[in-house]
Structures are given as structure tokens and as C-alpha cells.
Chains A and B, each alone.
Chain A
């Protein structure tokens, strides 16, 4: 389905996650962050978002552990930056799919 975020029309799934990561912009990130009560986005947030987007481009599995061990931020910092669910919020703001299980 389509949704207009920050003045741009993008493809999203039923939970509001972008389905085409190339449509992402930092303005879209700011708008989704505000919806998710995250931010305003700082350089630390963007470091995490860029890291997640890089992982997604490589089709790598994204886990809290992986981010925590990456040297980008510690796991505690990740929770501080994206309170209440770092993976679901950070992936949504980064314009990539939500990490899921098999059902």
C-alpha cells in the first residue's frame, strides 16, 4: 500500500514499514521517528540507522546482539536511543523490514 510520509509517497506494508528501502530519505526517517516517539534524531541515531541499512543491503540477519557487538553502539545505548523496542523502531525508521520469526 502507499503512504505519504514527509511529503513523499512511498510503498509500505500493513505495519507501516517501507517495502523499498531505496525510497528512504532522512526526512522520512525524521517523520517516522516522530510517529514512534523517538528522537529528535541525532548523529548517534543515524549511525545506527546507517549500520542497519548496510546490513540489510547485504541481506544479513539483524539482531540486537549483532548491533551491540558491532562497535557502533552498545546494547544499552541502543535501548536508550530507541526506547521500548529498539529493533522494531530502528528498523522502521531506517526504512528496512522488521526482524521477524517464522510466524
Chain B
């Protein structure tokens, strides 16, 4: 009998992890596994946050996707034009089609600066920057190296965005960057968010709400940008408020991959409707979605993709065996949050449990949740090695369980 075919679209963080899990669990005689991606470069995306401030060489955060694929997985560069779940196939640019028995969509998300009037144009990457792409982070690094000061505005266009805390971290890091360069008094920093505050969850707001004021960072909330007046250098809100800038570091609208829209599989932001506890498509039983491509209300972040990939691999094996799926993905997420001056915070939460205080990964620590520390910052720096050497090779993270443990004092 011919082997069946598991097709994975996307060879980034999520696609690479699920390829490892599934190759380890499926006999080659029974299942062929293919990963398709449209480009070769695998980015360590947390590096984009520090890159603008002069950290890292390119080769520390950009590697080749094929180098992280497990043996026995066929990795191919190809651009998918359309996914046809009814036909169990995808069609590729150039005219060929690839049939599958089981499909995992891990096509991630992209920035869509074209969604905001005035964002792209003469000032793009002159006074208007993003750091969610490698090119954007590199352009901003060059800008910051020579910028003489003025009004820095750090901005989130709309939710959801990948790594939702990154813009706030950027503001904190910028504040300490300018202080270290002896030019802090020449820079006014404003953080502009569509949400109700920089911290929106009660425990975090209570514990961390003082950070912006302490650092002299102004805050503009409930700000839905209608357009950017690039020439006049200001953000304009639907309610008429204006925020002037000399240097705008924006987080453009995040959307799913174009192929999701072209295939008619997405919501209004091109994210795929996905069962939030099983990661199965809400419409097609043989289609599963992983990582940033889903519409589940978890953060779009590598740690979520990691926990999801463990839940998903177990469910894919159940699905193959004809067993019912288990609804146990809990939205678990954790992340380091750079707070400047060589310190960082650490948060751990899921769909139900908001970020809380305590030890991590064990009750005694050694790291502390929701507190600034030097150790958390060192953890963030060390995480780059963990990412390349452990996570992208499909090895388990010891001591960190997939299911979020309830805090002792909850």
C-alpha cells in the first residue's frame, strides 16, 4: 500500500516543530511528510526586538529552514496559490498540484502596512519604521545609530499582533538605549495603543502600571489610527486626536498569509477559524492549523506554537487512529519581557489564568514571574540558543509543562 501524505504548509517556527513531532511518531512506510515554504530563510523573530539597538549579527538570527528539518521530511521551496480542502489538494504557482491526506496549515502571519492610509509612502523607513520584519529591524538599526533625538512614538495599529508585548518592550529598551547614549533628555517617548492601557489585565496593571511613569514614557490609549499624516508627521485617531512624531516605530496591522484569503479560508484578517482546544479546522476535519495562522484567542508567539505543537501532534495521531480528539490545548503562553537596563520580566498565562506572580518554572523559581530581574533578561538572551538548539530540533523543554499549572495563590 502506498504511504499516506501529511502536508505541512510553512516551515517556520510552528511548521518545523510539528514536522519533528510527526516524523518521530509516524513510520515512514505509512506516512510521507512534506513541508512547503516559499522561502529559505528561518528567522529567530524575538531577535528583531534587540536588533535595532545594535545587538546580534544577522547570522545569529537568520538561518536556513532546511537545516532544521528532520530526516525523512521532504522540504521544498514552493509558493502555494490555493488550498482546496474539498479536493484534499493544494495548487502551486507554476500549475502543479499536491494531494494530501492530512493538512497542517502553519503559514504564520504578516505585517500589512498597506492597511493604514499614509503608512507606506515617502516616509516609510525614513521616519516611519516597523521592527516586525528583518528588513524593518535592519533599517531601524541604521536609523537609531545616527538619530539625534526628538519625538519617538511607539505605536500599535490594532490587535491582534504577533508578540503583543514587543512594542512595549521596544519603548522600554529605547528609553534605556537613549539614556546610555547620554541623549535621553533630547528624546520624548510616547506609547500609543488601541487598547485601554499598556497593561490591560488587573494583576499585571497593578504590579507593573508604574513602569511607564517611572521611565518618563507618555501613554495614549484607546487610539484607533484613522490615518498617518506622513508629511505633517502625525498619527490621527478616528476621534480627532493627533500624536506628532519625528520617529514613528509602528506595529502595522497583522494579517494571515495571502493564500488563506485566496483560498477563501480566513476571517476578515485572513486568520483560519480554528477550534481553540483541538486546533482542528472548524470546517474541514482533515485540516489542522498551528501557530500564528489560527484565529484562536491565544497570543501569536513562538511559545504558543510550541505548546500547540505538542497538543496538535497528539491530536493528529488520534485523528489518524480514528479516535476522538482531546480538547486540551489551554492557550498556554509564556514570554520574557525586556524592561530596559539589562532587566526583564517573565509572564506565564493561558486562556483562563491571567499573568500572575510566583516562581518559574518551579514553585521555588529560580526565575520570578511578573517581576523585573537581571536573571530574566539573561534567560531571554539564553533563549536564542534554546530556540535554535532545542525547540527547532523538536526536543522537549524540560520542566515546562504544556498544560498551564494554576498558581498556588489563585
A79 / chain B contacts, CB cutoff of 8 Å: 224, 237-239
Q: How far is the CB of B354 from chain A (nearest CB, A)?
A: 8
A78 / chain B contacts, CB cutoff of 8 Å: 238
Q: Mark A50-80, 1 if CB is under 8 A from B, else 0.
A: 0000000001110111101100000110110
Q: How far is the CB of B325 from chain A (nearest CB, A)?
A: 18
- On whether the beta carbons of A64 and B194 are closer than 8 Å, the reply is yes
A61 / chain B contacts, CB cutoff of 8 Å: 159-160, 295, 297
Stretch at the interface among A4-12, A26-34, A84-92: A84-92
Q: Is B355 an interface residue (CB 8 A)?
A: yes
Bound-state Cα–Cα, A63 to B255, Å: 13
Q: Is A43 an interface residue (CB 8 A)?
A: no
Bound-state Cα–Cα, A68 to B201, Å: 25
Known: A64-B194, A79-B239. A103 touches B202 (CB 8 A): no
Residue of A15, A63, A76 most packed against chain B (CB within 10 A): A63
Instruction: Give which listed residue, B195, B253, B297, B347, contacts A65 with CB less than 8 A.
Output: B253
Q: Mark B260-278, 1 if CB is under 8 A from A, else 0.
A: 0000000110000000100
- On whether the beta carbons of B200 and A64 are closer than 8 Å, the reply is no
Q: How large is the interface on A (under 10, 10 to 19, 20 to 34, 35 or more residues)?
A: 20 to 34
Q: Mark B344-388, 1 if CB is under 8 A from A, else 0.
A: 000101000001000000000000000000000000000000000
Q: How far is the CB of B220 from chain A (nearest CB, A)?
A: 12
- On whether the beta carbons of B337 and A66 are closer than 8 Å, the reply is no
Q: Is B67 an interface residue (CB 8 A)?
A: no
A13 / chain B contacts, CB cutoff of 8 Å: 202
Q: How far is the CB of B303 from chain A (nearest CB, A)?
A: 11
Instruction: Give which listed residue, A60, A63, A68, A85, contacts B196 with CB less than 8 A.
Output: A85
Q: Is B165 an interface residue (CB 8 A)?
A: yes
Residue of A nearest to B204 (CB): A103
Q: Is B54 an interface residue (CB 8 A)?
A: no
Q: Is B226 an interface residue (CB 8 A)?
A: yes
- On whether the beta carbons of B347 and A14 are closer than 8 Å, the reply is no
B268 / chain A contacts, CB cutoff of 8 Å: 66, 69
- On whether the beta carbons of A101 and B158 are closer than 8 Å, the reply is no
A68 / chain B contacts, CB cutoff of 8 Å: 224
Residue of B nearest to A85 (CB): B222
- On whether the beta carbons of B158 and A84 are closer than 8 Å, the reply is no
A59 / chain B contacts, CB cutoff of 8 Å: 276, 297
- On whether the beta carbons of A101 and B165 are closer than 8 Å, the reply is yes
Residue of A59, A66, A103 most packed against chain B (CB within 10 A): A103
A98 / chain B contacts, CB cutoff of 8 Å: 196, 200
Q: Is A100 an interface residue (CB 8 A)?
A: yes
Known: A79-B238, A87-B222, A88-B196. A63 touches B355 (CB 8 A): no
Residue of B nearest to A64 (CB): B224
Known: A64-B224, A75-B238. A103 touches B159 (CB 8 A): no
Q: Is A102 an interface residue (CB 8 A)?
A: yes
- On whether the beta carbons of B222 and A103 are closer than 8 Å, the reply is no
Q: Which of B19-64 contact A (CB under 8 A)?
A: none
- On whether the beta carbons of A84 and B159 are closer than 8 Å, the reply is no
- On whether the beta carbons of A103 and B355 are closer than 8 Å, the reply is yes
Instruction: Give which listed residue, B196, B201, B333, contacts A87 with CB less than 8 A.
Output: B196
Q: Is A39 an interface residue (CB 8 A)?
A: no
Bound-state Cα–Cα, A84 to B238, Å: 11
B196 / chain A contacts, CB cutoff of 8 Å: 85, 87-88, 98
Q: Is B133 an interface residue (CB 8 A)?
A: no
- On whether the beta carbons of B202 and A99 are closer than 8 Å, the reply is no
Q: How far is the CB of A12 from chain B (nearest CB, A)?
A: 12
Instruction: Give which listed residue, B208, B238, B276, B333, contacts A102 with CB less than 8 A.
Output: B333
- On whether the beta carbons of B202 and A64 are closer than 8 Å, the reply is no
Bound-state Cα–Cα, A20 to B241, Å: 34
Bound-state Cα–Cα, A41 to B337, Å: 41
Q: Which of B41-92 contact A (CB under 8 A)?
A: none
Q: Is B299 an interface residue (CB 8 A)?
A: yes
Q: Is B389 an interface residue (CB 8 A)?
A: no
Q: Is B178 an interface residue (CB 8 A)?
A: no
Q: What are 20 A-B contacts with C-beta separation under 8 Å?
A: A61-B295, A64-B194, A65-B253, A66-B268, A68-B224, A75-B226, A76-B238, A79-B239, A83-B239, A84-B222, A87-B195, A87-B222, A98-B196, A99-B159, A101-B165, A101-B199, A102-B165, A102-B335, A103-B165, A103-B347
